[in-house]
């Protein structure tokens, strides 16, 4: 199975900061990488698919990049409502795996 490793596991940033979360795959997954946001007590929400495509309705301050094994989710100008956990997911192999998550706290 393909393993996904996210870093950091948690971070704290101020409103307006630029936040970067990384995700590394244990083998090349091309661009088969999605990002989700999950707020406390809620279902996950799709943010980015195919490594860099913004899901409809998602604010443009969210962006994704990368290919192969290394990927990045960037939040430009962090907002209070971005308090959440963020998960990467590989869809290269038919046993989809998630990263362990990154918890983002807004100072």
Partner 1 sequence: EVQLVESGGGLVQPGGSLRLSCAASGFTFSDYSINWVRQAPGKGLEWVSYIDSGSGTIYYADSVKGRFTTSRDNAKNSLYLQMNSLRHEDTAVYYCARDASSGWSRFDYWGQGTLVTVSS
Give the footprint of partner 1 on this chain (CB under 8 A). Answer: 1, 32, 34, 36, 38, 43-46, 49-50, 53, 55, 85, 87, 89, 91, 94-101
Return the number of the residue (6 or 19) whose C-beta is nearest partner 1.
Answer: 6
Report how far Cα 67 is from the mean position of its chain's Cα atoms.
Answer: 14
CB of 99 to partner 1, least distance (A): 7
What would the two tokens of residue 15 be? 């409103």
CB of 55 to partner 1, least distance (A): 7
Please list, in sequence order, all residues whose beta carbon lies within 8 angstroms of the beta carbon of residue 74, skipping any fewer than 6 positions away.
Answer: 18, 19, 20, 21, 62, 63, 64, 65
What is the bridge-based pairing of β-strands 19-25 and 53-54? unpaired
Return the number of the residue (17 or 22) whose C-beta is nearest partner 1.
Answer: 22
CB of 104 to partner 1, least distance (A): 14
């Amino acid at each position: 199975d393909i393993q996904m490793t996210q870093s950091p596991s948690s971070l704290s940033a101020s409103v307006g900061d630029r936040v970067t979360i990384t995700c590394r795959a244990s083998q090349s997954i091309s661009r088969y990488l999605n990002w989700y946001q999950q707020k406390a007590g809620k279902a996950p929400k799709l943010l980015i698919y195919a490594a860099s495509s913004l899901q409809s309705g998602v604010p443009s301050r969210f962006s994704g990049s990368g290919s192969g094994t290394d990927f990045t989710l960037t939040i430009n100008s962090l907002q209070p409502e971005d308090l959440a956990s963020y998960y990467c997911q590989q869809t290269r192999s038919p046993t989809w795996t998630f990263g362990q998550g990154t918890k983002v706290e807004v100072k």
